[in-house]
Amino acid sequence: MIACILLAGCSEEEKETITVGSKDFAEQYILGNMLTLLIEENTNLAVTYNDNMASHVIFAAITTGVVDVYIDYTGTIYGYYLNNSESKSAEEVYEISARELMENYDLRLLGLLGFNNTFNLAVRQDTAAEFNLRTFSDLARVSSDMVFGGSAEIINRNDGLPNLKILYDMSFKEERIFHNDERYHAIINNEVQVAEVFATDGQIKEYDLVVLEDDKNFFPPYHGVIVIRNEIVERHPELLEVLGKLEGILTDEIMRGMNFRVEVLGESPRDVAEEFLQSNGLIS
């Protein structure tokens, strides 16, 4: 019996741990839990889950080996991390991002997950009607009389508000920083008249907001994609098949529905992730 206990203890000690990361909003919590559950169920690896990181923090974490794998967005990789600004097709954004991540950081992009969570701007129905707002260009005409609400990232990033305002000749009366869904409360309460939204946010439907058209195509595609350290793939090639199970199965509608359950209904991100994986036969 003692020998068995000792052997079991040694086996547990030798079990390698992989660290899954996620950013600091509901969709990322769901996706981070999906990665964690898939790896736990389909490999012999132990998993540490490290969440609630801003984009620049999680990218620093994976490039230094603090995080081994996480889900990001092609537009963020292309424009923010790699500092590309030229407008490209979705396929080109992915290909350039994959190549430059491998060449510069030894990071690998896996296949696209299927949803495009692009940045956007939204207004209330009454604001859209009063000022006849359908596009970003429409908004530019009256933006100087409006308060903008969004995350620190969109207000400061080069693929966010600074260059967007240049392209559209847009300026706001004030730009206010909000964390996560606080910006939705702000726009509903008329503390701001324009808010940053993401295409898969559940609150867009909940609050019946008008999402404006990016008529000059400033924002690149933000397709969800798994980023993994190449060193981890070389040691554990089985992860390519395991994580590849997510490729192409997460549509905008599916992602928006799961986000709604977490953001609006208050369900657990892990429970929502687990139910989705089980219903698609990816875990038992």
Q: Give 11's pLDDT tier (boundaries 50, 70, 90).
A: very low
How confident is the model at residue 168, as a pLDDT?
A: 98
How confident is the model at residue 85, as a pLDDT?
A: 83
pTM of the predicted model as reported, rounded to 2 decimal places: 0.83
Query: Domain residue spans in the chain?
Result: 19-117+221-279, 119-211
Lowest mean pLDDT of 2-6, 39-43, 106-110, name the range. Answer: 2-6
Lowest mean pLDDT of 85-89, 162-166, 209-213, 255-259, name the range. Answer: 85-89
CATH of domain 19-117+221-279: 3.40.190.10
Q: Does the structural domain 119-211 have CATH classification 3.40.190.120?
A: yes
Q: Give 157's pLDDT tier (boundaries 50, 70, 90).
A: confident
Average pLDDT over residues 105-122: 96
Short-list 171, 206, 203, 178, CA closest to 192: 178
CATH topology of 19-117+221-279 equal to that of 119-211? yes
* Residues 6+ away with beta carbon under 8 Å from 205: 256, 260
Q: Give 5's pLDDT tier (boundaries 50, 70, 90).
A: very low
Short-list 41, 31, 30, CA closest to 281: 41
d(CA 193, CA 183): 10
Average pLDDT over residues 166-186: 94
Give the three-state DSSP class for 111.
strand
Lowest mean pLDDT of 148-152, 160-164, 178-182, name the range. Answer: 178-182
